[in-house]
Amino acid sequence: MSKPTILIVDDSPTVRQQVGIALAQAGYQVAEAEDGIEGLNAIRQNERIALVILDVNMPEMNGLEMLEELDRSGRKGEPPVLMLTTEGQPSLVKRAKTAGARGWIVKPFKADQLVATVEKLTAVATPA
Amino acid sequence: MKRACRRRILGDLQDACVELFRDYRLPRVMRAAAPDGAVDFAGRIEFDGDELRGSLSVVATRSLLDDMRGRGHACQDDWVAELANQMAGRLKLKLIRRGVVIRLGTPRLFRNGEASALARRDRSRIWLRSGAGVIGLKLETIVSEDFTLEGRYRKMDLMREGEIQHFD
Protein backbone atom coordinates (compact mmCIF):
# COMPACT_ATOMS: atom_id res chain seq x y z
CA MET A 1 0.00 0.00 0.00
CA SER A 2 1.39 3.42 -0.92
CA LYS A 3 2.21 5.87 1.83
CA PRO A 4 0.02 8.95 2.27
CA THR A 5 0.50 12.49 0.98
CA ILE A 6 2.31 15.04 3.15
CA LEU A 7 1.82 18.76 2.56
CA ILE A 8 4.89 20.94 3.11
CA VAL A 9 4.07 24.62 3.76
CA ASP A 10 7.19 26.80 3.75
CA ASP A 11 8.13 29.96 1.85
CA SER A 12 11.66 28.65 1.25
CA PRO A 13 12.05 26.53 -1.92
CA THR A 14 15.20 25.04 -0.38
CA VAL A 15 13.39 23.86 2.75
CA ARG A 16 10.52 22.44 0.67
CA GLN A 17 13.07 20.60 -1.45
CA GLN A 18 15.05 19.26 1.55
CA VAL A 19 11.91 18.06 3.33
CA GLY A 20 10.47 16.72 0.08
CA ILE A 21 13.57 14.66 -0.66
CA ALA A 22 13.58 13.16 2.85
CA LEU A 23 9.90 12.21 2.61
CA ALA A 24 10.03 10.97 -0.98
CA GLN A 25 12.95 8.71 -0.10
CA ALA A 26 10.79 7.26 2.67
CA GLY A 27 8.03 6.57 0.14
CA TYR A 28 5.65 9.47 0.85
CA GLN A 29 3.83 11.52 -1.75
CA VAL A 30 4.56 15.21 -1.33
CA ALA A 31 2.53 18.35 -2.00
CA GLU A 32 3.84 21.89 -1.52
CA ALA A 33 2.52 25.33 -0.62
CA GLU A 34 4.39 28.64 -0.23
CA ASP A 35 2.34 30.27 2.53
CA GLY A 36 -0.64 29.77 4.80
CA ILE A 37 -3.25 30.77 2.23
CA GLU A 38 -1.92 28.29 -0.32
CA GLY A 39 -1.69 25.73 2.48
CA LEU A 40 -5.35 26.10 3.43
CA ASN A 41 -6.39 25.86 -0.22
CA ALA A 42 -4.32 22.72 -0.67
CA ILE A 43 -5.95 21.06 2.35
CA ARG A 44 -9.45 21.99 1.17
CA GLN A 45 -8.77 20.69 -2.33
CA ASN A 46 -6.95 17.48 -1.43
CA GLU A 47 -8.64 15.13 1.01
CA ARG A 48 -5.70 12.72 0.76
CA ILE A 49 -3.34 14.96 2.72
CA ALA A 50 -2.50 12.96 5.83
CA LEU A 51 -0.16 15.43 7.54
CA VAL A 52 0.97 19.04 7.20
CA ILE A 53 4.54 20.15 7.88
CA LEU A 54 4.20 23.84 8.62
CA ASP A 55 6.63 26.77 8.91
CA VAL A 56 5.77 29.73 11.16
CA ASN A 57 7.19 32.90 9.59
CA MET A 58 5.80 33.22 6.07
CA PRO A 59 4.38 36.11 4.01
CA GLU A 60 0.63 36.57 3.39
CA MET A 61 -0.51 34.20 6.15
CA ASN A 62 1.90 32.74 8.68
CA GLY A 63 1.82 29.19 9.98
CA LEU A 64 0.18 29.98 13.31
CA GLU A 65 -2.57 31.96 11.56
CA MET A 66 -3.15 29.03 9.20
CA LEU A 67 -3.33 26.62 12.12
CA GLU A 68 -5.83 28.85 13.93
CA GLU A 69 -7.92 29.18 10.76
CA LEU A 70 -8.09 25.37 10.54
CA ASP A 71 -9.22 25.32 14.17
CA ARG A 72 -11.91 27.98 13.54
CA SER A 73 -13.23 26.08 10.53
CA GLY A 74 -13.78 22.97 12.64
CA ARG A 75 -10.75 21.08 11.35
CA LYS A 76 -8.56 21.16 14.45
CA GLY A 77 -6.01 18.38 14.03
CA GLU A 78 -7.50 17.29 10.68
CA PRO A 79 -5.08 16.74 9.13
CA PRO A 80 -2.50 16.67 11.93
CA VAL A 81 0.11 19.44 11.81
CA LEU A 82 3.81 19.27 12.62
CA MET A 83 5.51 22.65 12.98
CA LEU A 84 9.00 22.97 11.40
CA THR A 85 10.46 26.40 12.04
CA THR A 86 13.44 28.47 13.20
CA GLU A 87 11.28 29.69 16.10
CA GLY A 88 11.49 28.19 19.58
CA GLN A 89 9.89 30.94 21.67
CA PRO A 90 7.74 29.24 24.36
CA SER A 91 4.71 31.50 23.78
CA LEU A 92 4.63 30.52 20.08
CA VAL A 93 5.00 26.81 20.89
CA LYS A 94 2.11 27.11 23.35
CA ARG A 95 -0.03 28.94 20.79
CA ALA A 96 0.52 26.18 18.24
CA LYS A 97 -0.27 23.48 20.77
CA THR A 98 -3.51 25.24 21.73
CA ALA A 99 -4.51 25.48 18.06
CA GLY A 100 -4.04 21.75 17.60
CA ALA A 101 -0.47 21.21 16.38
CA ARG A 102 0.88 17.74 17.19
CA GLY A 103 4.56 18.57 17.39
CA TRP A 104 7.28 21.17 16.93
CA ILE A 105 10.74 20.90 15.38
CA VAL A 106 13.30 23.71 15.51
CA LYS A 107 15.28 23.93 12.23
CA PRO A 108 17.58 22.58 11.05
CA PHE A 109 16.05 19.10 10.98
CA LYS A 110 17.66 15.70 10.71
CA ALA A 111 16.04 13.71 7.90
CA ASP A 112 15.79 10.43 9.84
CA GLN A 113 14.21 12.12 12.86
CA LEU A 114 11.76 14.01 10.67
CA VAL A 115 10.70 10.83 8.87
CA ALA A 116 10.33 8.96 12.19
CA THR A 117 8.08 11.74 13.50
CA VAL A 118 6.03 11.73 10.30
CA GLU A 119 5.68 7.92 10.52
CA LYS A 120 4.42 8.25 14.08
CA LEU A 121 1.92 11.00 13.34
CA THR A 122 0.54 9.45 10.15
CA ALA A 123 0.23 6.05 11.83
CA VAL A 124 -1.96 7.62 14.51
CA ALA A 125 -3.89 9.65 11.96
CA THR A 126 -4.59 6.80 9.54
CA PRO A 127 -4.78 3.48 11.42
CA ALA A 128 -4.40 0.39 9.25
CA MET B 1 23.76 51.10 22.40
CA LYS B 2 26.30 50.46 25.11
CA ARG B 3 29.49 48.93 23.77
CA ALA B 4 29.19 45.88 26.05
CA CYS B 5 25.66 45.16 24.79
CA ARG B 6 26.74 45.47 21.17
CA ARG B 7 29.68 43.14 21.81
CA ARG B 8 27.34 40.55 23.35
CA ILE B 9 24.90 40.67 20.45
CA LEU B 10 27.64 40.39 17.82
CA GLY B 11 29.20 37.54 19.80
CA ASP B 12 25.84 35.78 19.91
CA LEU B 13 25.42 36.28 16.16
CA GLN B 14 28.83 34.84 15.40
CA ASP B 15 28.12 31.88 17.70
CA ALA B 16 24.80 31.36 15.90
CA CYS B 17 26.63 31.20 12.59
CA VAL B 18 29.28 28.78 13.87
CA GLU B 19 26.63 26.51 15.43
CA LEU B 20 24.48 26.54 12.32
CA PHE B 21 27.37 25.56 10.07
CA ARG B 22 28.33 22.84 12.53
CA ASP B 23 24.77 21.47 12.43
CA TYR B 24 25.03 21.31 8.63
CA ARG B 25 28.36 19.51 9.06
CA LEU B 26 30.28 22.19 7.22
CA PRO B 27 33.95 22.84 7.94
CA ARG B 28 34.89 25.02 10.89
CA VAL B 29 34.02 28.67 10.43
CA MET B 30 36.94 31.11 10.42
CA ARG B 31 37.27 34.86 10.05
CA ALA B 32 37.97 35.88 6.47
CA ALA B 33 38.67 38.93 4.36
CA ALA B 34 35.95 40.43 2.20
CA PRO B 35 35.90 38.72 -1.23
CA ASP B 36 37.46 40.67 -4.09
CA GLY B 37 34.63 40.10 -6.52
CA ALA B 38 30.93 40.70 -6.37
CA VAL B 39 28.66 38.68 -4.13
CA ASP B 40 25.92 36.67 -5.79
CA PHE B 41 23.25 36.32 -3.14
CA ALA B 42 22.02 38.15 -0.08
CA GLY B 43 19.32 37.38 2.43
CA ARG B 44 17.86 39.96 4.79
CA ILE B 45 15.46 39.49 7.67
CA GLU B 46 13.99 42.23 9.81
CA PHE B 47 13.04 41.90 13.46
CA ASP B 48 11.28 44.06 16.00
CA GLY B 49 10.55 44.14 19.66
CA ASP B 50 9.78 46.53 22.51
CA GLU B 51 13.44 47.27 23.23
CA LEU B 52 15.32 46.14 20.13
CA ARG B 53 14.61 46.18 16.40
CA GLY B 54 16.67 45.99 13.27
CA SER B 55 17.76 43.60 10.58
CA LEU B 56 20.24 40.85 9.84
CA SER B 57 21.66 40.56 6.35
CA VAL B 58 23.80 37.74 5.07
CA VAL B 59 25.69 38.04 1.77
CA ALA B 60 27.46 35.18 0.05
CA THR B 61 29.28 34.19 -3.07
CA ARG B 62 27.93 31.39 -5.25
CA SER B 63 30.80 29.25 -3.93
CA LEU B 64 28.88 28.85 -0.65
CA LEU B 65 25.96 27.23 -2.46
CA ASP B 66 28.28 25.14 -4.61
CA ASP B 67 30.11 24.00 -1.47
CA MET B 68 26.83 23.08 0.23
CA ARG B 69 25.65 21.17 -2.82
CA GLY B 70 29.01 19.43 -3.08
CA ARG B 71 28.47 18.15 0.44
CA GLY B 72 25.12 16.65 -0.48
CA HIS B 73 22.81 19.40 0.77
CA ALA B 74 19.92 20.13 -1.55
CA CYS B 75 19.73 23.89 -1.77
CA GLN B 76 18.34 26.35 -4.26
CA ASP B 77 19.19 29.99 -4.84
CA ASP B 78 17.13 31.11 -1.85
CA TRP B 79 19.48 29.25 0.50
CA VAL B 80 21.22 32.41 1.70
CA ALA B 81 17.87 33.92 2.72
CA GLU B 82 17.04 30.72 4.58
CA LEU B 83 20.47 30.86 6.27
CA ALA B 84 19.66 34.40 7.43
CA ASN B 85 16.33 33.10 8.72
CA GLN B 86 17.90 30.23 10.66
CA MET B 87 20.66 32.46 12.04
CA ALA B 88 18.09 35.01 13.17
CA GLY B 89 16.13 32.20 14.85
CA ARG B 90 19.21 31.14 16.78
CA LEU B 91 20.04 34.72 17.69
CA LYS B 92 16.46 35.18 18.92
CA LEU B 93 16.75 32.20 21.28
CA LYS B 94 20.06 33.53 22.63
CA LEU B 95 18.50 36.96 23.19
CA ILE B 96 15.54 35.42 25.04
CA ARG B 97 18.09 33.90 27.43
CA ARG B 98 19.48 37.41 27.90
CA GLY B 99 16.05 38.80 28.72
CA VAL B 100 15.18 40.35 25.34
CA VAL B 101 12.33 39.18 23.09
CA ILE B 102 12.16 40.00 19.38
CA ARG B 103 9.71 39.04 16.64
CA LEU B 104 11.11 37.81 13.33
CA GLY B 105 9.87 38.90 9.92
CA THR B 106 10.14 36.85 6.75
CA PRO B 107 13.48 36.66 4.94
CA ARG B 108 13.97 38.37 1.59
CA LEU B 109 16.35 37.23 -1.13
CA PHE B 110 18.53 39.53 -3.24
CA ARG B 111 20.55 38.39 -6.24
CA ASN B 112 23.51 39.58 -8.30
CA GLY B 113 23.57 43.40 -8.60
CA GLU B 114 21.16 43.94 -5.71
CA ALA B 115 23.18 41.59 -3.50
CA SER B 116 26.45 43.33 -4.39
CA ALA B 117 24.89 46.72 -3.72
CA LEU B 118 23.82 45.53 -0.28
CA ALA B 119 27.33 44.21 0.42
CA ARG B 120 28.94 47.49 -0.71
CA ARG B 121 26.60 49.57 1.41
CA ASP B 122 27.44 47.60 4.56
CA ARG B 123 31.20 47.35 4.38
CA SER B 124 31.61 46.79 8.10
CA ARG B 125 30.48 43.20 7.90
CA ILE B 126 31.81 40.22 9.76
CA TRP B 127 33.28 38.03 7.00
CA LEU B 128 33.53 34.31 7.65
CA ARG B 129 34.79 31.36 5.64
CA SER B 130 33.71 27.74 5.84
CA GLY B 131 35.26 25.44 3.26
CA ALA B 132 34.97 27.15 -0.11
CA GLY B 133 32.11 29.34 1.03
CA VAL B 134 32.44 32.94 2.18
CA ILE B 135 29.65 34.84 3.89
CA GLY B 136 29.33 38.32 5.30
CA LEU B 137 27.07 39.12 8.25
CA LYS B 138 25.69 42.52 9.14
CA LEU B 139 23.45 43.26 12.08
CA GLU B 140 21.76 46.65 12.23
CA THR B 141 19.99 47.55 15.45
CA ILE B 142 17.93 50.32 16.97
CA VAL B 143 17.42 50.12 20.72
CA SER B 144 15.23 51.85 23.27
CA GLU B 145 16.83 54.28 25.73
CA ASP B 146 16.51 51.83 28.62
CA PHE B 147 17.78 48.85 26.63
CA THR B 148 19.88 46.38 28.59
CA LEU B 149 21.18 42.95 27.73
CA GLU B 150 22.06 40.54 30.49
CA GLY B 151 25.69 39.48 30.52
CA ARG B 152 24.91 35.86 31.32
CA TYR B 153 22.36 33.52 29.85
CA ARG B 154 19.38 32.80 32.08
CA LYS B 155 18.67 29.16 32.82
CA MET B 156 15.50 28.56 30.83
CA ASP B 157 13.67 25.54 29.50
CA LEU B 158 13.83 26.58 25.84
CA MET B 159 13.74 24.28 22.83
CA ARG B 160 17.09 23.77 21.14
CA GLU B 161 17.79 23.77 17.43
CA GLY B 162 17.10 20.32 15.99
CA GLU B 163 14.93 19.38 18.98
CA ILE B 164 11.57 17.69 18.42
CA GLN B 165 8.72 18.21 20.86
CA HIS B 166 5.64 15.97 20.67
CA PHE B 167 2.44 17.39 22.08
CA ASP B 168 0.73 14.16 23.10
pLDDT of chain B, 168 residues: tens digit per residue: 678 888 899 999 999 998 998 888 888 888 888 877 778 899 999 999 999 999 999 998 888 888 888 778 888 889 999 999 999 999 999 999 999 999 999 999 998 888 888 777 766 688 888 887 888 999 999 988 888 888 899 988 889 888 899 997
Taking only the tens place, the pLDDT of each residue in A75-98 is: 888 899 999 999 999 999 999 999
pLDDT number for residue B75: 84
Using an 8 Å CB-CB cutoff, list residues of chain A that contact chain B: 11-15, 17-18, 21, 57-59, 85-90, 93, 97, 101-110, 113, 117, 120
Query: In this model, does residue A127 exceed pLDDT 50?
Result: no
B40-78: b (≥16 Cβ within 10 Å) or e: bbbbbbbbebebbbbbbbbbbbebbbebbeeeebbbbeb
Query: In this model, does residue A128 exceed pLDDT 50?
Result: no
Q: Is B104 on the interface with A (CB under 8 A)?
A: yes
**B161 contacts on A by Cβ (under 8 Å):** 88, 106-108
pLDDT number for residue B153: 92
Comparing A30 with B130, which gets the higher pLDDT? Answer: A30
- Among A57, A104, A108, the residue with its CB nearest the CB of B159 is A104
In the sheet where B164-166 sits, what is the strand order?
Answer: A29-33, A5-9, A49-54, A81-85, A103-106, B164-166
User: Of B58, B106, B108, which to mutate for an interface test with A (greatest number of A Cβ within 10 Å)?
Assistant: B106
Q: What is the mean pLDDT of residues A53-80?
A: 94
pLDDT classification of A126: cutoffs 50, 70, 90: low
Do A106 and B161 lie within an 8 Å CB cutoff?
A: yes
Preceding omega of A79 cis (within 30 degrees of 0):
yes
pLDDT classification of A113: cutoffs 50, 70, 90: very high
Comparing B118 with A53, which gets the higher pLDDT? Answer: A53
- Among A102, A103, A110, the residue with its CB nearest the CB of B162 is A110
- Among A11, A103, A108, the residue with its CB nearest the CB of B23 is A108
Cα A9 to Cα A64, B6, B125, distances in angstroms: 12, 35, 33
